[in-house]
Amino acid sequence: MRVERLFAPFRFARSKGALSVYDLNIKDVVTDPATANANTVYVCVPTPLGDGHSGAAVAYANGCRCFLAARGLGLREDAAVYTTEEPEAHLGALAARCFGYPARSLTVFGITGTHGKTSVADTLAGLLRRAGKSFALLTTDGTEINGVFEPAPPTAVNAADVQRMLRAARRKRAEFAIVEFSAYMLAHHAEKSIPFAAVLLTDLAPRHIGKRMHGDFASYWAAKKKLLECPSPLVFLPEPIEDLDTKGRVLCYGDTGDIVAQNTELLHDGEQQLGTSFSLTYKRKTEEIFYPVIGDFATRNATAAAALALAAGLSLAEIARGLSGTAPIGRMECIYASNGVRVFLDTAYEAEDLLQVLHSLRRVTSGKLSVVLGSVGERAVFRRAPLGRAAVENADFVYFTADDPGSEPVTGITKDMVSEIEDASRYLCIPSRRKAILRAMEDLRTGDTLLILGKARDETQLVNGIKEAFSDRDVVFVAARRM
């Protein structure tokens, strides 16, 4: 799309620039100067790494001549610089226009909340898959379009990234798009210019509050509200919320409301059946549900996914059949069960999440409960000690090891994780993740449970700036053959 046509609906101020700039065929809207070129608009947005205006010179050097910024950029006169008070607020609309408004060809569901966003999104994707529907899925794990998965990048997803995924979904003829929105994404306007078919809140808790994330609970809730107050015809809530200016019909799901889940029961007889059963009622019709996931949030997550599946046109009977064979990948996922032992994968990365996971696993464990646990390198240092302490205090034994250490020595990371633990007999530090999993598997006895914490779907380890192929599942299966 030519520059002048792309910017026509926006009332931005503009420096003149060379006439040739306005004839450029713009194919992308970017916020990373390294990806800028002659056919892109570079938008100066704030990132966790700094002010995007500082990258304009790099974008220019890469051939970019069209910019959206909050101020002048000091570039040569051939650059066309559009200015507006908050460029990031227009990023989604600019990308949507550049890509031909891809969401208009899709049925888009938006999901936000404190807990369970990815689990709900994965479960909904499984229901659509089993119903023969084509879909695109964007979560914190990565992007899946019609069965092809790409891991998430290390940087946070922004409004242009969401629109880019929607464009890819349209190109691959997907019918549905499921998008998980973190509070960070919403605070940075990632929901803009998307005509949602339905939006859903999983829950709301005082999480991620503080200097590193959201200043207070009010700002955190304000970010979440942005999705729920979008012009969507359906808004699904776990309970009524007065402090919302919704545009569409509100339906509540849970133990009361419009979509009701009752009679929850944990099932775990030997190795054959492990999951949660409950009754699901909608419009006076009731189906008995078996969901192959355990945990305090299993029923709520399954019911939330069922609510969106109803909005997608699936019947209650289809949902009941689908849930029996659908579970979120890497969330309380039992990947091995034999000879009285079980091995689970989960992605808990904060102490609060880990406590809930261990509490649920303790209920189905007659023997020892052990954990393989690492922490990402070069960031999130503040999480390490609380995570390590939570593991040791609530499991019987912990194997501390690597988990995307990057260029940081694993021994330094594990030292941080055990810094608040007094009883050294409760853990081992094994820098090699492969050796840690193998040792944990060797130590299992009848009745024991092993929890491996890490990434759900990205089968790599980031070591010294290089992504190396590594699969927790493969190591478990190798160890199982030796048992």
- Taking the C-alpha atoms of residue 287 and residue 273, their distance in angstroms, rounded to an integer, is 19
Higher per-residue pLDDT: 134 or 457: 134
Asked if 345 and 454 count as a contact pair (C-beta separation under 8 A), the reply is: yes
For residue 210, the number of C-alpha atoms closer than 13 Å in the C-beta half-sphere is 4
Average pLDDT of the residues in 456-477? 90
Residue 295: pLDDT band (50, 70, 90) is confident
Whole-number pLDDT of residue 187: 93
Higher per-residue pLDDT: 349 or 371: 371
Q: Residue 170 to residues 125, 132, 136, 163: CA-CA distances in angstroms? A: 17, 17, 9, 10
Higher per-residue pLDDT: 455 or 386: 386
- pLDDT for 309-321, tens place per residue? 999 999 999 999 9
End-to-end CA distance of the chain: 61
Structure tokens at 413: 């990371």
- Taking the C-alpha atoms of residue 209 and residue 215, their distance in angstroms, rounded to an integer, is 6
Considering the chain, tell me which residue range(s) the CATH 3.40.1390.10 domain(s) occupy.
3-90
Rg of the chain over all Cα atoms, to the nearest angstrom? 24
Mean residue pLDDT of the chain comes to: 93
Whole-number pLDDT of residue 210: 56
Residue 19: pLDDT band (50, 70, 90) is confident
Q: Which of 69-78, 148-157, 286-295 has the lowest mean pLDDT?
A: 148-157
Average pLDDT of the residues in 275-296? 94
- Taking the C-alpha atoms of residue 297 and residue 180, their distance in angstroms, rounded to an integer, is 17
| Residue 254 CA to its chain's centroid (Å) | 22
- pLDDT for 170-227, tens place per residue? 999 999 999 999 999 999 999 999 999 999 999 998 766 655 566 788 899 999 999 9
Asked if 115 and 205 count as a contact pair (C-beta separation under 8 A), the reply is: yes
Neighbours of 449 (CB within 10 A): 24
Whole-number pLDDT of residue 207: 67
| Residue 189 CA to its chain's centroid (Å) | 16
- Taking the C-alpha atoms of residue 459 and residue 4, their distance in angstroms, rounded to an integer, is 44
CATH class of the domain whose range is 102-323: alpha beta
Q: Residue 223 to residues 13, 203, 213, 349, 386: CA-CA distances in angstroms? A: 28, 14, 12, 22, 26
**For residue 293, pLDDT beyond 80:** yes
Whole-number pLDDT of residue 412: 96
Whole-number pLDDT of residue 17: 86
Whole-number pLDDT of residue 213: 62
- pLDDT for 51-107, tens place per residue? 899 999 999 999 999 999 999 999 999 999 999 999 999 999 999 999 999 999 999
- Taking the C-alpha atoms of residue 251 and residue 106, their distance in angstroms, rounded to an integer, is 22
Whole-number pLDDT of residue 46: 85
Determine how β-strand 259-269 pairs with β-strand 148-151.
unpaired
Residue 152: pLDDT band (50, 70, 90) is confident
Considering the chain, tell me which residue range(s) the CATH 3.40.1190.10 domain(s) occupy.
102-323
DSSP E strands in 78-208: the ranges are 80-83, 107-112, 135-138, 142-145, 148-151, 176-180, 196-201
**For residue 262, pLDDT beyond 90:** yes
Residue 272: pLDDT band (50, 70, 90) is low
**For residue 469, pLDDT beyond 70:** yes
Asked if 21 and 78 count as a contact pair (C-beta separation under 8 A), the reply is: yes
- Taking the C-alpha atoms of residue 71 and residue 82, their distance in angstroms, rounded to an integer, is 9
Q: From 3.30.465.10, 3.40.718.10, 3.90.190.20, 1.10.10.10, which CATH number describes the 333-482 domain?
A: 3.90.190.20
| Helical residues (DSSP H) of 313-471, grouped into ranges | 316-323, 351-362, 384-394, 410-417, 433-442
Whole-number pLDDT of residue 466: 86
Residue 13: pLDDT band (50, 70, 90) is very high
**Paired strand residues for 345:** 333, 452
- Taking the C-alpha atoms of residue 113 and residue 143, their distance in angstroms, rounded to an integer, is 19
Whole-number pLDDT of residue 209: 62
The amino acid sitting at 210 is G
Average pLDDT of the residues in 291-304? 93
Residue 267: pLDDT band (50, 70, 90) is confident
Q: From 3.40.50.1580, 3.40.50.300, 1.10.10.10, 3.40.1390.10, which CATH number describes the 3-90 domain?
A: 3.40.1390.10
Structure tokens at 348: 């808990």
Residue 151: pLDDT band (50, 70, 90) is confident
209: which DSSP letter? B
Q: Residue 167 to residues 93, 146, 157, 163, 193: CA-CA distances in angstroms? A: 13, 13, 15, 6, 13
Angle in degrees, CA 101, 94, 179, rounded to 5: 55
Structure tokens at 194: 């998307």
Pick from 436, 292, 472, 300: nearest CA to 364: 292
Neighbours of 382 (CB within 10 A): 12
